[in-house]
């Protein structure tokens, strides 16, 4: 089958190759999925570029990148329910700690990692659920019921933040979101009650004012290191700070005093490592939101498989409005 592979770190155009590789026969408990779309995430780009601290070479001799995808089950290993043949599914952790991900015509992996798509959900949306969808859902609901709470969502214009705004509004929360000026209208349309410019010098004061002068119950954070001072000012006593990113400052200095006297919980999320029970809960919540028509996952661009390098460059440019996908059959 055709797949995109790399065997060394470097720029996308230098290391990504369109290759023919074998499509494995499913073992016991596995399925083979004919992929319609593969999702390209910042983590995929960083892994291919070799920017992870302390990692000097790829973990496997040949890697097919990308963890997210969606398609149709075309073959079953022993022990898998025969009714699953032909099922439309979405993929999580496609290339996590294994060599072959979703930038290919097909993928073979554990049947539990091929999740049935909710009725009415497109394959394009399915290819965005593994990392952006589950991260947003666990960030918003991982601390329990949010009905009646106020949530601050830092970075509401990003792929995860935009989904988090919708999920928080659907979950019954009052939503304050920060983003750039260019994203303000669409973040408001996604459900944010208040949208603030993340660069405002008095951001903490604006957040508190938007919540009638009181601190917020939870903060969903895309840039932990850059925003921790503001977050510490606005979070309520016993509040939860769910952080899924800190790209701008990976070695932050914590304002421990304010956080201590708020007894704040810092919940650092890496969706690849989410245990089975909270993952199942996040999947169920995602499906409920999709079935209710409460969640839209926009797509910024779709590239044919042979142009996966261009898709990586689009993600690196960091100017997207939605997901970047690969047409695995195109």
pLDDT at 89: 99
pLDDT exceeds cutoff 90 at 116: yes
Instruction: Give the start-to-end residue ranges of the domains of the chain.
Output: 2-128+297-327, 132-272
Does the structure show a pLDDT above 90 at 318?
no
Burial of 24 (0-12, 13-18, 19+ CB in 10 A): middle
The fold adopted by the segment(s) 132-272 is Quinone Oxidoreductase; Chain A, domain 1 (3.90.180)
Predicted pLDDT at 282: 98
Strand partners for 64: 100
- Asked if domains 2-128+297-327 and 132-272 share a fold, the reply is yes
pLDDT band at 52 (very low <50, low <70, confident <90, very high): confident
Q: Is 227 exposed, middle or buried (0-12, 13-18, 19+ CB in 10 A)?
A: buried
Q: Of 323, 327, 328, whose CA–CA distance to 161 is shortest?
A: 323
Q: Tens digits of per-residue pLDDT, 261-295?
A: 999 999 999 999 999 999 999 999 999 999 999 99
Model confidence at 53: pLDDT above 90:
no
CATH H-level superfamily of 2-128+297-327: Medium-chain alcohol dehydrogenases, catalytic domain (3.90.180.10)
pLDDT digits (tens, 9 = 90+) for 189-218: 999 999 999 999 999 999 999 999 999 999
Please answer whether residues 31 and 106 qualify as being in contact, where contact means their C-beta atoms are separated by less than 8 angstroms: no
Under a CB-based contact definition with an 8 Å cutoff, are residues 16 and 38 in contact?
Answer: no
Long-range contacts of 212-216 (CB under 8 A, 24+ apart): 214/150, 215/239, 215/262, 216/149, 216/150, 216/151, 216/152, 216/176
293 CB contacts (<8 Å, ≥6 apart)? none
The arrangement of strands across the sheet holding 194-197 comes to: 194-197, 174-179, 150-154, 216-221, 235-243, 265-268
């Amino acid at each position: 089958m055709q797949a995109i592979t790399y065997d060394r770190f470097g720029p996308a155009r230098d290391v990504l190759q369109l290759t023919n590789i074998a499509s494995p026969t499913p073992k016991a408990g596995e399925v083979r999925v004919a992929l319609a779309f593969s999702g390209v995430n910042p983590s995929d780009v960083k892994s291919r570029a070799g920017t992870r601290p302390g990692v000097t070479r790829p973990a496997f001799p040949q890697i097919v990148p990308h963890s997210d995808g969606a398609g149709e089950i075309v073959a079953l290993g022993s022990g898998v329910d025969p009714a699953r043949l032909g099922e439309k599914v979405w993929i999580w952790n496609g290339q996590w700690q294994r060599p072959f991900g979703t930038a290919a015509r097909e993928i073979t992996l554990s049947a539990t990692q091929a999740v049935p798509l909710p009725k009415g959900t497109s394959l394009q949306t399915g290819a965005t659920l593994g990392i952006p969808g589950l991260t947003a859902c666990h960030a918003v609901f991982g601390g329990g019921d949010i009905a009646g709470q106020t949530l601050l969502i830092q970075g509401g214009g990003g792929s995860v933040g935009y989904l988090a705004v919708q999920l928080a509004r659907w979950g019954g929360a009052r939503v304050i979101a920060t983003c750039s000026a260019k994203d303000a209208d669409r973040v408001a349309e996604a459900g944010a009650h208040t949208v603030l410019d993340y660069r405002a010098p008095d951001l903490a004061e604006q957040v508190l004012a938007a919540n009638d002068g009181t601190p917020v119950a939870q903060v969903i954070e895309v840039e932990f290191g850059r925003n921790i001072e503001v977050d510490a000012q606005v979070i309520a006593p016993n509040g939860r700070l769910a952080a899924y990113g800190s790209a701008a400052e990976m070695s932050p200095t914590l304002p421990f005093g304010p956080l201590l006297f708020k007894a704040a919980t810092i919940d650092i999320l890496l969706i690849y490592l989410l245990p089975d029970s909270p993952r199942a809960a996040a999947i169920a919540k995602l499906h409920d939101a999709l079935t209710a028509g409460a969640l839209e996952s926009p797509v910024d661009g779709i590239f044919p498989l042979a142009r996966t390098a261009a898709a990586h460059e689009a993600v690196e440019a960091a100017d997207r409005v939605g997901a970047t996908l690969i047409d695995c059959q195109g």
